[in-house]
Amino acid sequence: MSASSKGQNRVVVYPDWCKGCGICVAFCPKHVLAPGPDGKAVVVDEDACVNCGFCEPHCPDFAIVVAPRNGNGVNGRPNGKSPATDATHGKEDCP
Amino acid sequence: MAEVTQLIHQYLRHNKKFPLVFCPGCGHGIVLGSLVRSVHALGLSKDEVVVVAGIGCSGRIAAYVDFNTVHATHGRALTIATGIKMANPGLTVIAVMGDGDAFSIGGNHLIHAARRNIGVTALVLNNFIYGMTGGQCSSTTPEGAYSHTSPMGQLEAAFDIVELTRAAGASGVARGTVFHVKALDGLIAAALSQPGFNLVEALTPCFTQYGRGNGFKSAVDMFKWLKDKAVPLEAYEKLEDKAGRIPIGVFVKRDAPGLETRYAAMRQRLLEKRGGAA
Protein backbone atom coordinates (compact mmCIF):
# COMPACT_ATOMS: atom_id res chain seq x y z
CA MET A 1 0.00 0.00 0.00
CA SER A 2 1.30 3.40 -0.87
CA ALA A 3 2.65 5.45 1.98
CA SER A 4 1.05 8.59 0.70
CA SER A 5 -2.28 8.16 2.44
CA LYS A 6 -0.79 8.31 5.92
CA GLY A 7 -2.30 11.14 7.92
CA GLN A 8 -5.10 11.57 5.40
CA ASN A 9 -7.63 9.16 6.77
CA ARG A 10 -10.43 9.44 9.22
CA VAL A 11 -11.16 6.32 11.26
CA VAL A 12 -14.52 6.04 12.99
CA VAL A 13 -15.64 3.21 15.27
CA TYR A 14 -19.35 3.08 16.05
CA PRO A 15 -19.55 2.05 19.71
CA ASP A 16 -23.17 0.92 19.45
CA TRP A 17 -22.27 -1.81 16.98
CA CYS A 18 -18.77 -2.67 18.25
CA LYS A 19 -18.69 -5.75 20.49
CA GLY A 20 -15.07 -5.42 21.53
CA CYS A 21 -13.86 -8.63 19.89
CA GLY A 22 -10.42 -7.07 19.41
CA ILE A 23 -9.76 -8.25 15.86
CA CYS A 24 -9.11 -4.75 14.52
CA VAL A 25 -6.93 -3.87 17.53
CA ALA A 26 -4.84 -7.03 17.20
CA PHE A 27 -4.22 -6.88 13.46
CA CYS A 28 -3.96 -3.13 12.76
CA PRO A 29 -0.43 -2.82 11.34
CA LYS A 30 -0.07 0.79 12.56
CA HIS A 31 -1.72 0.43 15.98
CA VAL A 32 -4.32 3.03 15.17
CA LEU A 33 -6.88 1.31 17.38
CA ALA A 34 -6.72 0.26 21.02
CA PRO A 35 -9.20 -1.28 23.43
CA GLY A 36 -11.16 1.34 25.36
CA PRO A 37 -12.27 1.10 28.99
CA ASP A 38 -15.23 -1.10 28.06
CA GLY A 39 -13.16 -3.28 25.74
CA LYS A 40 -14.53 -1.68 22.60
CA ALA A 41 -12.10 -0.34 20.04
CA VAL A 42 -11.22 3.33 20.17
CA VAL A 43 -9.11 5.33 17.76
CA VAL A 44 -5.85 6.39 19.43
CA ASP A 45 -3.58 7.34 16.56
CA GLU A 46 -5.61 8.32 13.55
CA ASP A 47 -2.68 10.01 11.84
CA ALA A 48 -0.86 6.68 11.61
CA CYS A 49 -3.62 5.06 9.54
CA VAL A 50 -2.43 4.09 6.07
CA ASN A 51 -5.83 2.84 4.89
CA CYS A 52 -4.45 -0.65 4.44
CA GLY A 53 -7.97 -2.00 4.16
CA PHE A 54 -7.77 -4.63 6.86
CA CYS A 55 -10.13 -3.49 9.59
CA GLU A 56 -13.19 -2.59 7.56
CA PRO A 57 -13.90 -5.93 5.88
CA HIS A 58 -12.65 -7.85 8.94
CA CYS A 59 -14.98 -6.16 11.39
CA PRO A 60 -17.71 -8.76 11.96
CA ASP A 61 -20.13 -6.06 13.08
CA PHE A 62 -19.57 -3.43 10.38
CA ALA A 63 -18.61 -0.97 13.11
CA ILE A 64 -15.54 0.63 11.48
CA VAL A 65 -15.42 3.15 8.70
CA VAL A 66 -12.15 4.41 7.27
CA ALA A 67 -12.51 7.32 4.88
CA PRO A 68 -10.12 9.82 3.37
CA ARG A 69 -10.30 13.17 5.14
CA ASN A 70 -10.59 15.11 1.91
CA GLY A 71 -13.98 13.51 1.43
CA ASN A 72 -13.30 12.20 -2.04
CA GLY A 73 -14.45 8.76 -1.05
CA VAL A 74 -13.14 6.00 -3.24
CA ASN A 75 -11.14 8.37 -5.41
CA GLY A 76 -9.37 9.73 -2.39
CA ARG A 77 -7.42 6.52 -1.92
CA PRO A 78 -3.65 6.73 -2.02
CA ASN A 79 -2.31 7.99 -5.29
CA GLY A 80 1.26 8.66 -4.21
CA LYS A 81 1.16 12.28 -5.38
CA SER A 82 -0.19 14.18 -2.42
CA PRO A 83 2.05 17.18 -1.61
CA ALA A 84 0.66 17.40 1.90
CA THR A 85 2.06 14.05 2.94
CA ASP A 86 5.17 14.06 0.81
CA ALA A 87 6.44 16.92 2.92
CA THR A 88 6.03 15.05 6.18
CA HIS A 89 6.93 11.60 5.00
CA GLY A 90 10.37 10.94 3.72
CA LYS A 91 11.78 8.65 6.37
CA GLU A 92 8.68 6.75 7.39
CA ASP A 93 8.08 3.34 5.94
CA CYS A 94 4.63 1.98 5.42
CA PRO A 95 3.71 -1.45 4.14
CA MET B 1 -12.22 2.01 2.20
CA ALA B 2 -15.28 3.73 3.47
CA GLU B 3 -17.22 2.22 0.65
CA VAL B 4 -16.88 -1.22 2.24
CA THR B 5 -19.12 -0.47 5.18
CA GLN B 6 -21.39 1.88 3.26
CA LEU B 7 -21.99 -0.82 0.70
CA ILE B 8 -23.01 -3.35 3.34
CA HIS B 9 -25.48 -0.88 4.82
CA GLN B 10 -27.22 -0.69 1.44
CA TYR B 11 -27.97 -4.39 1.70
CA LEU B 12 -28.95 -4.66 5.37
CA ARG B 13 -32.46 -4.67 6.75
CA HIS B 14 -32.23 -1.81 9.15
CA ASN B 15 -35.49 -2.66 10.88
CA LYS B 16 -33.76 -5.70 12.39
CA LYS B 17 -32.07 -5.58 15.74
CA PHE B 18 -28.46 -4.49 15.59
CA PRO B 19 -25.67 -5.16 16.39
CA LEU B 20 -25.70 -8.61 14.84
CA VAL B 21 -26.81 -11.48 17.06
CA PHE B 22 -23.43 -13.23 16.74
CA CYS B 23 -20.98 -13.47 19.66
CA PRO B 24 -18.02 -11.08 19.77
CA GLY B 25 -15.31 -12.35 17.45
CA CYS B 26 -17.62 -14.64 15.49
CA GLY B 27 -16.66 -14.75 11.84
CA HIS B 28 -20.20 -15.05 10.54
CA GLY B 29 -20.52 -11.28 10.22
CA ILE B 30 -17.43 -11.23 8.04
CA VAL B 31 -18.94 -13.87 5.76
CA LEU B 32 -22.13 -11.81 5.61
CA GLY B 33 -20.11 -8.82 4.45
CA SER B 34 -18.25 -10.98 1.96
CA LEU B 35 -21.52 -12.30 0.54
CA VAL B 36 -22.86 -8.78 0.10
CA ARG B 37 -19.70 -7.60 -1.64
CA SER B 38 -19.73 -10.59 -3.96
CA VAL B 39 -23.36 -10.02 -4.97
CA HIS B 40 -22.65 -6.33 -5.50
CA ALA B 41 -19.55 -7.06 -7.56
CA LEU B 42 -21.61 -9.20 -9.92
CA GLY B 43 -24.11 -6.37 -10.38
CA LEU B 44 -27.10 -8.44 -9.31
CA SER B 45 -30.17 -6.60 -8.09
CA LYS B 46 -31.66 -7.48 -4.71
CA ASP B 47 -34.72 -9.02 -6.35
CA GLU B 48 -32.62 -11.43 -8.38
CA VAL B 49 -31.01 -13.01 -5.36
CA VAL B 50 -32.54 -15.56 -3.01
CA VAL B 51 -30.82 -16.45 0.23
CA VAL B 52 -32.04 -19.66 1.85
CA ALA B 53 -30.66 -20.36 5.29
CA GLY B 54 -31.06 -23.27 7.63
CA ILE B 55 -31.06 -23.42 11.39
CA GLY B 56 -28.07 -22.39 13.41
CA CYS B 57 -26.02 -19.26 13.90
CA SER B 58 -25.52 -19.06 10.14
CA GLY B 59 -29.30 -19.10 9.68
CA ARG B 60 -29.46 -15.61 11.12
CA ILE B 61 -27.67 -14.26 8.06
CA ALA B 62 -30.84 -14.56 6.02
CA ALA B 63 -32.65 -12.28 8.44
CA TYR B 64 -30.19 -9.43 8.00
CA VAL B 65 -29.80 -9.20 4.23
CA ASP B 66 -32.34 -7.42 2.11
CA PHE B 67 -32.63 -10.06 -0.61
CA ASN B 68 -35.46 -12.53 -1.06
CA THR B 69 -34.88 -14.70 1.97
CA VAL B 70 -36.18 -17.99 3.30
CA HIS B 71 -35.40 -19.37 6.72
CA ALA B 72 -35.69 -23.12 6.27
CA THR B 73 -35.88 -26.00 8.70
CA HIS B 74 -32.71 -27.63 9.97
CA GLY B 75 -30.66 -29.13 7.16
CA ARG B 76 -33.28 -28.43 4.53
CA ALA B 77 -31.93 -25.19 3.11
CA LEU B 78 -30.68 -26.99 0.01
CA THR B 79 -33.95 -28.75 -0.69
CA ILE B 80 -35.85 -25.49 -0.60
CA ALA B 81 -33.14 -23.82 -2.66
CA THR B 82 -33.42 -26.64 -5.20
CA GLY B 83 -37.16 -26.05 -5.51
CA ILE B 84 -36.72 -22.32 -5.95
CA LYS B 85 -34.06 -22.77 -8.63
CA MET B 86 -36.16 -25.32 -10.56
CA ALA B 87 -39.24 -23.11 -10.41
CA ASN B 88 -37.45 -19.94 -11.42
CA PRO B 89 -34.04 -20.64 -12.97
CA GLY B 90 -33.44 -16.92 -13.50
CA LEU B 91 -32.80 -16.36 -9.83
CA THR B 92 -29.42 -16.57 -8.17
CA VAL B 93 -30.02 -18.94 -5.28
CA ILE B 94 -27.63 -19.06 -2.34
CA ALA B 95 -28.02 -21.62 0.43
CA VAL B 96 -26.29 -20.41 3.58
CA MET B 97 -25.65 -23.27 5.97
CA GLY B 98 -23.53 -24.13 8.92
CA ASP B 99 -21.41 -27.25 9.05
CA GLY B 100 -23.96 -29.13 11.13
CA ASP B 101 -26.76 -27.94 8.90
CA ALA B 102 -25.01 -28.89 5.67
CA PHE B 103 -23.12 -32.04 6.59
CA SER B 104 -24.83 -33.68 9.54
CA ILE B 105 -28.53 -33.08 9.37
CA GLY B 106 -28.60 -32.04 5.74
CA GLY B 107 -25.73 -34.24 4.60
CA ASN B 108 -27.95 -36.36 2.41
CA HIS B 109 -29.41 -33.33 0.69
CA LEU B 110 -25.98 -31.92 0.08
CA ILE B 111 -24.50 -34.93 -1.64
CA HIS B 112 -27.57 -35.26 -3.83
CA ALA B 113 -27.65 -31.58 -4.68
CA ALA B 114 -24.02 -31.96 -5.75
CA ARG B 115 -24.79 -35.13 -7.70
CA ARG B 116 -27.68 -33.46 -9.53
CA ASN B 117 -25.54 -30.40 -10.07
CA ILE B 118 -28.45 -28.09 -9.39
CA GLY B 119 -27.50 -24.47 -10.00
CA VAL B 120 -27.37 -23.38 -6.39
CA THR B 121 -24.44 -21.88 -4.51
CA ALA B 122 -23.95 -23.47 -1.12
CA LEU B 123 -22.13 -21.26 1.34
CA VAL B 124 -21.07 -23.45 4.25
CA LEU B 125 -19.90 -21.61 7.34
CA ASN B 126 -17.70 -24.18 9.01
CA ASN B 127 -17.03 -23.42 12.67
CA PHE B 128 -16.30 -27.05 13.62
CA ILE B 129 -19.14 -27.25 16.13
CA TYR B 130 -22.85 -26.87 16.78
CA GLY B 131 -22.61 -23.35 18.11
CA MET B 132 -26.19 -22.26 18.63
CA THR B 133 -27.39 -25.40 20.38
CA GLY B 134 -24.66 -25.33 23.00
CA GLY B 135 -21.40 -26.70 21.64
CA GLN B 136 -22.05 -30.31 20.69
CA CYS B 137 -19.56 -31.99 18.39
CA SER B 138 -20.49 -31.97 14.72
CA SER B 139 -19.34 -34.02 11.78
CA THR B 140 -16.58 -31.51 11.12
CA THR B 141 -15.22 -31.32 14.66
CA PRO B 142 -11.55 -32.31 14.29
CA GLU B 143 -10.45 -35.58 15.84
CA GLY B 144 -9.34 -35.09 19.42
CA ALA B 145 -11.03 -31.71 19.83
CA TYR B 146 -13.02 -30.86 22.92
CA SER B 147 -16.73 -30.20 22.71
CA HIS B 148 -19.51 -30.51 25.26
CA THR B 149 -20.44 -33.92 23.92
CA SER B 150 -16.86 -35.06 23.48
CA PRO B 151 -15.30 -33.88 26.76
CA MET B 152 -12.40 -36.35 26.49
CA GLY B 153 -11.75 -35.45 22.86
CA GLN B 154 -13.64 -36.26 19.70
CA LEU B 155 -13.16 -39.91 18.78
CA GLU B 156 -14.64 -39.73 15.31
CA ALA B 157 -12.82 -38.48 12.26
CA ALA B 158 -14.04 -35.26 10.68
CA PHE B 159 -15.54 -34.84 7.26
CA ASP B 160 -13.40 -33.07 4.70
CA ILE B 161 -16.08 -30.89 3.17
CA VAL B 162 -14.10 -30.21 0.03
CA GLU B 163 -13.28 -33.85 -0.72
CA LEU B 164 -16.82 -34.99 -0.03
CA THR B 165 -18.39 -32.42 -2.31
CA ARG B 166 -15.80 -33.05 -5.00
CA ALA B 167 -16.59 -36.77 -4.91
CA ALA B 168 -20.31 -36.07 -5.07
CA GLY B 169 -19.84 -34.31 -8.39
CA ALA B 170 -20.21 -30.58 -7.77
CA SER B 171 -19.32 -28.08 -10.49
CA GLY B 172 -17.23 -25.96 -8.19
CA VAL B 173 -15.71 -26.44 -4.77
CA ALA B 174 -13.69 -23.82 -2.92
CA ARG B 175 -12.51 -23.11 0.57
CA GLY B 176 -11.73 -19.78 2.16
CA THR B 177 -11.35 -18.35 5.63
CA VAL B 178 -12.69 -15.22 7.24
CA PHE B 179 -9.15 -14.05 7.83
CA HIS B 180 -8.42 -14.13 4.09
CA VAL B 181 -11.55 -12.16 3.41
CA LYS B 182 -10.60 -10.62 0.08
CA ALA B 183 -9.88 -14.06 -1.29
CA LEU B 184 -13.21 -15.21 0.13
CA ASP B 185 -14.99 -12.39 -1.75
CA GLY B 186 -13.48 -13.68 -4.96
CA LEU B 187 -14.36 -17.30 -4.21
CA ILE B 188 -18.00 -16.48 -3.52
CA ALA B 189 -18.28 -14.26 -6.59
CA ALA B 190 -16.75 -16.99 -8.76
CA ALA B 191 -19.12 -19.57 -7.31
CA LEU B 192 -22.14 -17.34 -7.94
CA SER B 193 -21.23 -16.79 -11.57
CA GLN B 194 -20.50 -20.42 -12.43
CA PRO B 195 -23.33 -22.72 -13.56
CA GLY B 196 -24.09 -25.88 -11.64
CA PHE B 197 -23.72 -26.66 -7.97
CA ASN B 198 -21.00 -24.64 -6.32
CA LEU B 199 -19.90 -24.97 -2.74
CA VAL B 200 -17.79 -22.48 -0.84
CA GLU B 201 -16.60 -23.55 2.57
CA ALA B 202 -15.81 -20.55 4.76
CA LEU B 203 -13.82 -21.35 7.88
CA THR B 204 -15.12 -19.09 10.58
CA PRO B 205 -14.02 -19.30 14.20
CA CYS B 206 -16.50 -19.95 17.00
CA PHE B 207 -14.67 -18.82 20.11
CA THR B 208 -17.61 -19.14 22.48
CA GLN B 209 -18.29 -22.82 21.88
CA TYR B 210 -15.20 -24.20 20.16
CA GLY B 211 -12.25 -21.95 20.90
CA ARG B 212 -12.56 -21.78 24.67
CA GLY B 213 -12.46 -25.54 25.05
CA ASN B 214 -9.59 -26.04 22.64
CA GLY B 215 -6.79 -23.90 23.97
CA PHE B 216 -7.56 -20.60 22.29
CA LYS B 217 -7.27 -17.62 24.61
CA SER B 218 -9.43 -15.25 22.62
CA ALA B 219 -11.27 -14.85 19.36
CA VAL B 220 -8.22 -13.02 18.07
CA ASP B 221 -6.19 -16.15 18.81
CA MET B 222 -8.45 -18.10 16.48
CA PHE B 223 -7.94 -15.55 13.73
CA LYS B 224 -4.17 -15.86 14.23
CA TRP B 225 -4.57 -19.61 13.97
CA LEU B 226 -6.39 -19.23 10.66
CA LYS B 227 -3.69 -16.86 9.46
CA ASP B 228 -0.94 -19.34 10.37
CA LYS B 229 -2.55 -22.56 9.26
CA ALA B 230 -4.35 -21.69 6.06
CA VAL B 231 -2.17 -21.80 2.95
CA PRO B 232 -3.11 -21.33 -0.71
CA LEU B 233 -3.62 -24.61 -2.51
CA GLU B 234 -0.59 -24.18 -4.80
CA ALA B 235 1.72 -23.57 -1.84
CA TYR B 236 0.09 -26.39 0.14
CA GLU B 237 0.94 -28.94 -2.52
CA LYS B 238 4.61 -28.02 -2.29
CA LEU B 239 4.69 -28.24 1.51
CA GLU B 240 6.69 -31.10 2.99
CA ASP B 241 4.96 -31.04 6.36
CA LYS B 242 1.27 -30.74 5.72
CA ALA B 243 0.16 -31.67 9.22
CA GLY B 244 -2.28 -29.17 10.62
CA ARG B 245 -2.21 -26.96 7.54
CA ILE B 246 -5.42 -26.11 5.74
CA PRO B 247 -5.38 -25.62 1.96
CA ILE B 248 -7.56 -22.77 0.71
CA GLY B 249 -8.54 -21.77 -2.79
CA VAL B 250 -10.45 -23.31 -5.66
CA PHE B 251 -10.39 -27.11 -5.62
CA VAL B 252 -12.86 -28.00 -8.35
CA LYS B 253 -13.90 -25.89 -11.30
CA ARG B 254 -15.56 -27.68 -14.14
CA ASP B 255 -17.93 -26.49 -16.77
CA ALA B 256 -21.12 -28.49 -16.48
CA PRO B 257 -24.70 -27.34 -17.04
CA GLY B 258 -26.95 -27.20 -14.01
CA LEU B 259 -29.96 -29.44 -13.55
CA GLU B 260 -32.34 -26.58 -14.35
CA THR B 261 -30.62 -26.04 -17.72
CA ARG B 262 -30.74 -29.73 -18.58
CA TYR B 263 -34.38 -29.86 -17.53
CA ALA B 264 -35.28 -26.91 -19.75
CA ALA B 265 -33.43 -28.51 -22.66
CA MET B 266 -35.25 -31.80 -22.17
CA ARG B 267 -38.58 -30.03 -21.92
CA GLN B 268 -37.86 -28.16 -25.14
CA ARG B 269 -36.84 -31.36 -26.89
CA LEU B 270 -39.99 -33.20 -25.81
CA LEU B 271 -42.23 -30.30 -26.79
CA GLU B 272 -40.65 -30.20 -30.23
CA LYS B 273 -41.05 -33.94 -30.56
CA ARG B 274 -44.72 -33.76 -29.65
CA GLY B 275 -45.25 -30.79 -31.94
CA GLY B 276 -43.62 -32.67 -34.80
CA ALA B 277 -45.72 -35.77 -34.26
CA ALA B 278 -49.00 -33.92 -34.03
Which of B122, B245, B238, B237 lies closest to B187 in space, CA to CA? B122
B12: closest chain A residue by CA: A62
Would you state the pLDDT for residue A85?
Answer: 35
Question: Which residues of chain A have a Cβ shorter than 8 Å from any chain B Cβ?
Answer: 16-23, 25-27, 51, 53, 56-68, 73-74, 77
The pLDDT tens digits for B147-165 are 999 999 999 999 999 999 9
Cα(A50)–Cα(B40) distance, integer angstroms: 26
User: Cβ of A22 and B9 within 8 Å?
Assistant: no
What's the domain range around B12?
Answer: 2-277
Instruction: With cut-offs at 50, 70 and 90, classify the pLDDT of residue A73.
Output: very low
Domains in chain B, number: 1
> Chain A contact for B186, CB < 8 A?
no
Query: Which residues in B238-256 are b (16+ Cβ under 10 Å) and which e?
Result: eeeeeeeebbbbbbbeeee
Cα(B100)–Cα(B80) distance, integer angstroms: 17
Cα(A31)–Cα(A28) distance, integer angstroms: 5
Domain A3-69: which CATH class?
Answer: alpha beta
Cα(B229)–Cα(B252) distance, integer angstroms: 21
A52: closest chain B residue by CA: B1
Task: Give B274's contacts (C-beta < 8 A, 6+ positions apart).
Answer: none
Q: Cα distance from B220 to chain A (closest Cα, Å)?
A: 5
Would you state the pLDDT for residue A83?
Answer: 32
User: Cβ of B1 and A66 within 8 Å?
Assistant: yes
Q: Cα distance from B5 to chain A (closest Cα, Å)?
A: 6
> Chain A contact for B219, CB < 8 A?
yes
- CATH number of the domain at B239, please: 3.40.50.970
Q: ipTM of the assembly? A: 0.88
Q: Is the pLDDT of residue B202 over 80?
A: yes
Would you state the pLDDT for residue A92?
Answer: 37
pTM for the complete prediction? 0.88
The pLDDT tens digits for B238-251 are 999 988 899 999 99
Cα(B161)–Cα(B164) distance, integer angstroms: 5
Q: Is the pLDDT of residue B24 over 60?
A: yes
Mean predicted confidence (pLDDT) in A8-25: 93
